[in-house]
Structure 1
């Protein structure tokens, strides 16, 4: 934790909670009677009349919040309107007492893939335990509420100082509490949470609905960045979210019109420099916004339930590209195609993919199915395992993408029959100057060699990184330092212009067909 505080309550927080439980409207008359008996008439007047009135006025918002929070005590998520009322009451208290507040929206990631599948009851039980832990990272007066199946809203009680440092201290404590493993029914789950933040000063307007919407917006941006990401609401975020909404309602038309199609990023043999293959990466050729990268539209694709359709289109375009490369005489041994979880959960996926290759007369070993580490954690999913087994048996290659960023174990890698692991770019960055990075990559290369698995390093951006990886024995490289993703039309001039391919124009056209 960044501020070094324990997750246990401090003495000050314990005292604060104890004081908050005292019914001061009963205590004050007793104190006032004592003051009258000792002749302190002015003190008695204040205790008897003025302070109780102040407490009554100050306590109205708190009691309203407590009544609303009773809905949450049953274990069920609070309705959005109830959460808005709570934030509105806190803002009212802040205005009266010259205080401020902040709203934080946490999204729990990993409930659906960690250590097997979890049914709804199991997920609820895990969420209950996580919320109990998160509560220990807060002050007694702060409100914590569950929203939806895996969301949590935290509203800070009126506070004198609510700057970014103060908020981040809370976020750090909450994320540390969530990161601890949870045991349930003999199984262990590790989850993470991203967060969106909006303080009263950041909010577009001073209302519960505006603060919640702003925190939601920041949370959605954070989710794009990966586990434990935190984002603070800014004015330009709203425009990004509005663009997301715009894209989400255009997905169907874009897929039907063929606006979303693959670009191809080369992969090379580290020692010879020869073209080892391409990776197919989806791009949306938007008529108004230009070419959009996957991070700008994949969330909308999956939200619309069109992930499988996108995968089918990318595979079809990849097979057509292989046919054209063969016709031109460019040797492309293999192309990596990303398969999403939505695709892998389709029981007819393997049958459909095998049919596509038969139809185009392409050998299965020229397609590498790229899956993320999170997929390997679903080894109890019969549909996924059946699909991967059928595709592997048919001759397709299997690449494990972004290796090192998830929780795949050696046992998972062996069980899935992975042909190649792709070392994540985070381990490649600075490898030429950082001994620790070299040690990590050397360990991965050694593991792969012992298991008889091929390797490819992603994110190679400089000649120094390329030279270091080659000297370490990494056989395949990919990254901007070699070539950026490019439209299919540019791949042929790029391949023919490489020195290693200078004699390709003199070769006899290679026949298509199975290897």
Structure 2
């Protein structure tokens, strides 16, 4: 029996002792029983103070234990005809993994997260760690635990977890919490503890893909999408070997002449059963499996081979651009591999543009990435800064690094013809680039209004569905011929009497 429950019977026990043995028995029971409980730790068991403490290492449980806890919650809810729910939480420190903190700061973050969780839970709820940065909250059975109330709790817990935290070295970190939740009522009747936990972790994975501070509730469709991702992870490496993954091409045009100024090579997986699979569904699998270098080699080789064919067909495509990852640029051998590919196809470096995300340029001068970019520049390659405006690159970085063109992210372009604030922001980017002698390209142009306004503002090049969707190489030749006939038609009509 818990200490609090035993103390509830103390007056009755003392009264009974008085009637049986007199005053001396009354004193013995009234003083002896609490003393024995205190020595045995009974008075502290289950107390609110204990629920508010947190010892990160002691509160770490393995997956088997977590499954047992989830199974016990389901069993208790079933016996009492009540509802239960669990929440799986992934906490990152200001967008960075806790692995980038020192050991003491990691322990401080873990303890703070547990304290913040427990301070907002009810007596009987439980919060434990299930990994370096993951937590599991198990809610005691209750009459009203539907998806809506659990999502409300998830929002409150997220708000608490994301309060800034100052570490021992006076560093201020801003935790971000992704949360996946599942109610027992949503599970099939044959689900046990492992299925309960797996459902919450599936919802957590979906939240993590949406962003570092998102919340998702489990539903049947998540199991289907998770199954699809497992299939894709199994098939994607073979797809590289079987040439199912290959480059598709999206043209870029000059705003002043309408002529084709380049083309971007984009990875597409043409699955024999599932059709075209966009990169968002398979890049993560390649990244986690360490196959990004193979993907880059595949797209680079296919893009250069297509450029050779277009030269043979006299399409006069100035250059093709290929996206590079941070892993590519961090590889000291990458520039040599690229030179070999250029030589193999008989092309000079100025026929290739390499697109690099803005975030890779936040590193200090002299780092391997910066050195590799410089090597690519010496080969004659153009350097495009991709998704400009979304990262942390400074004006000094634009001035210091050998950038030929910035690609303005489509988030700034969508609806620019209807937003004065966006127009002013993009105009500022264009003016800055002009002052630095850097060309500009707007991504994601989808309407005639956006295209016309960007031309008026002085953007050099545009790319997007307004121009053309990505297409396989075999369709690109026909598109080029049709495009050139279209831009030539108005000039021909003006010559007619």
Cα distance in 1, alignment partners of residues 373 and 203 from structure 2:
36
Equivalent in 84, 102, 120 of residue 67 of structure 2: 84
Moved more, 220-229 or 307-316: 220-229
Secondary structure of 1:231's match?
strand
Equivalent in 113, 118, 121 of residue 139 of structure 1: 121
Moved more, 129-138 or 292-301: 129-138
- Contact 2:250/2:264, CA 8 A, preserved across alignment: yes
Match of 2:34 in 1: none
Cα distance in 2, alignment partners of residues 413 and 178 from structure 1:
36
1:369 Cα deviation after fit: 1.9
What does residue range 15-164 of structure 1 map to in structure 2 within 5 Å?
23-30=3-10, 73-74=56-57, 77-108=60-91, 118=100, 121=103, 124-125=106-107, 127-128=109-110, 131-132=113-114, 135=117, 138-139=120-121, 141=123, 142-164=125-147
The 1:87–1:164 alpha-carbon spacing in structure 2 relative to 1, beyond 3 Å, is same
The 1:460–1:67 alpha-carbon spacing in structure 2 relative to 1, beyond 3 Å, is same
1:211 maps to 2:191: no
Equivalent in 355, 366, 369 of residue 351 of structure 2: 366
The 1:303–1:186 alpha-carbon spacing in structure 2 relative to 1, beyond 3 Å, is same
What does residue range 185-204 of structure 1 map to in structure 2 within 5 Å?
185=169, 192-204=176-188
- Contact 1:330/1:495, CA 8 A, preserved across alignment: yes
1:254 maps to 2:239: yes
Secondary structure of 1:351's match?
helix
Cα distance in 1, alignment partners of residues 353 and 134 from structure 2:
36
Cα distance in 2, alignment partners of residues 308 and 424 from structure 1:
25
Secondary structure of 1:484's match?
coil
- Contact 2:330/2:368, CA 8 A, preserved across alignment: yes
1:281 maps to 2:266: yes
What does residue range 1-20 of structure 1 map to in structure 2 within 5 Å?
none
> Which string of whole-angstrom CA distances, capped at 9 and with x for unpartnered residues, describes residues 316-361 of structure 1?
1111111112221222223221112332332211221122213323
The 1:295–1:385 alpha-carbon spacing in structure 2 relative to 1, beyond 3 Å, is same
1:417 Cα deviation after fit: 3.8
The CA RMSD measured in Å over matched residues stands at 3.7
Count of aligned residue pairs for this structure pair: 456
Cα distance in 1, alignment partners of residues 483 and 66 from structure 2:
60
Higher-Rg structure is 2
1:419 Cα deviation after fit: 3.0
The 1:122–1:382 alpha-carbon spacing in structure 2 relative to 1, beyond 3 Å, is farther
1:422 maps to 2:407: yes
Give the TM-score normalised by structure 1. 0.77
- Contact 1:376/1:408, CA 8 A, preserved across alignment: yes
Cα distance in 2, alignment partners of residues 456 and 385 from structure 1:
22
> Which string of whole-angstrom CA distances, capped at 9 and with x for unpartnered residues, describes residues 235-266 of structure 1?
12212211211121222321111111111111
What does residue range 332-481 of structure 1 map to in structure 2 within 5 Å?
332-379=317-364, 382-481=367-466
Secondary structure of 1:201's match?
helix
The 1:371–1:180 alpha-carbon spacing in structure 2 relative to 1, beyond 3 Å, is farther
1:496 Cα deviation after fit: 1.0
Match of 1:304 in 2: 289
Equivalent in 213, 226, 234 of residue 228 of structure 1: 213
Secondary structure of 1:482's match?
coil
Q: Using CA pairs below 8 Å that are at least 6 residues apart, which structure has the higher relative contact order?
A: 1
Secondary structure of 1:426's match?
helix
Match of 1:15 in 2: none
Structure 1: gaps (5+ residues): 1-21, 38-58, 504-515
The 1:156–1:277 alpha-carbon spacing in structure 2 relative to 1, beyond 3 Å, is farther
Match of 1:322 in 2: 307
Cα distance in 1, alignment partners of residues 238 and 355 from structure 2:
27
- Contact 2:384/2:405, CA 8 A, preserved across alignment: yes
Secondary structure of 1:219's match?
helix
- Contact 1:278/1:335, CA 8 A, preserved across alignment: yes
- Contact 2:151/2:217, CA 8 A, preserved across alignment: no
Cα distance in 2, alignment partners of residues 437 and 331 from structure 1:
35
Give the TM-score normalised by structure 2. 0.79
Match of 1:498 in 2: 483
Structure 2: gaps (5+ residues): 18-41, 489-497
Secondary structure of 2:355's match?
strand
The 1:402–1:229 alpha-carbon spacing in structure 2 relative to 1, beyond 3 Å, is farther
Cα distance in 2, alignment partners of residues 446 and 134 from structure 1:
47
1:209 Cα deviation after fit: 1.4
